[in-house]
Amino acid sequence: MKTFKVAVVGATGLVGSKMIEVLGEVNFPVSELVPCASERSVGKKVSFGGKEWTVVSLADGVAAKPDIAIFSAGAGVSKEWAPKFAEAGCRVVDNSSQWRMDPTKKLVVPEINGGVLTKDDMIIANPNCSTIQMVLALAPLHERYKIKRVVVSTYQSVTGSGMKGIHQMLRERGEQAQDLPNAYPYQIDRNVIPHIDVFLDNGYTKEEMKMTNETVKIFGDEGIKVTATTVRVPVTGGHSEAVNVEFEKDYDLDDVKAIFRDGKAPGCVLKDDPSKNEYPMPLYAFGRNEVFVGRLRRDFSAPNCLNMWVVADNLRIGAATNAVHIAQYLAAHIL
């Protein structure tokens, strides 16, 4: 089996450490791990494959000439360093927002559009966490019924704000926490905040527009209309989404359930039995790589409309796992 030298940029962060964990779980053929981070983390150790690996600077990471680099270190770092890794012949999978809407870069969820990747793609964008779980649930429905419009409201975990979000909530609960700056302008414990990322001139937040624009790009369909309201909630297990989708064609609810039950929606699991109070929740999604779908029901207020409840661990399938899936696709089909 061919093996690969793999760099993880942001290796000591919340998502970066999860990327290393997922690489091990899927038995990715790593010949050498090159964990990279900021200067303050250089020299630290990370565990992978039964060994300890020393964290190096990004400059040393480029010099190591990895085959694949998976980035989760923020848009500024990606803007500066992803091209340097690419120039060294390394394929970059970037988890930041830097390249997602760049028309020269592919935005990839492998189960949906992995086939768009070619040998010429050196920097590949990993979509936003809330977008990934939604499009995985919608893709098989779009293929069969063709989506016209999506209205989505999210209930997003504090883990989406990294360690700052987690420790702000812990401090507010009186639990032991690191002394990090607050992630939010208001208390998050016993509260919900309808504000994720910065506000834009159109009144939406950047997170809401990410869901709109990224969905269209991933599906390659300008006809799909998306409107989103994204909300931070005091939860650590994952993101939840209430999704209302309008199709061009009518559907049979039993057929929709069968799509998710019978494995026709890659990466998705049906959890939908109201008689037993079975529905997706972050409590059950935590630590899992699947997208859980439930509360499937017809929206009687408009034709051809479906209501769904979609839950996933945002650090995994919403970030680390999808990035590793892209790397797996590259290893299997491109490199």
Secondary structure in 3-state letters for the chain: CCCEEEEEECCCCHHHHHHHHHHHHCCCCEEEEEEECCHHHCCCEEEECCEEEECECHHHHHHCCCCEEEECCCHHHHHHHHHHHHHCCCEEEECCCCCCCCCCCEECCHHHHHHHCCCCCCEEECCCHHHHHHHHHHHHHHHHHCEEEEEEEEEECHHHHHHHHHHHHHHHCCCCCCCCCCCCCCCCCCCCECCCCCECCCCCEHHHHHHHHHHHHHHCCCCCEEEEEEEECCCCCCEEEEEEEEECCCCCHHHHHHHHHCCCCCCEEECCEHHHCECCCHHHHCCCCCEEEEEEEECCCCCCEEEEEEEECCCHHHHHHHHHHHHHHHHHHCC
Residue found by looking up tokens 């500024």 in the block: 76
- The active-site residue, picked from 36, 90, 129, 305, is 129
Residue 142 designated active-site? no
C-beta separation of 39 from 61 below 8 A: no
Residue 36 designated active-site? no
Q: What's the Rg (C-alpha) of the chain?
A: 20
- The active-site residue, picked from 142, 167, 239, 325, is 239
What's the first-to-final CA gap in the chain, in angstroms? 12
Q: Residues with Cβ < 8 Å from 123, sequence gap 6 or more?
A: 82, 83, 86, 92, 94, 99, 105
Locate 238 and state its tokens. Answer: 């994952």
User: Taking the alpha carbons of 326, 126, 223, 221 in that order, is the dihedral positive or negative?
Assistant: negative
Give the catalytic positions in this structure.
Answer: 129, 239
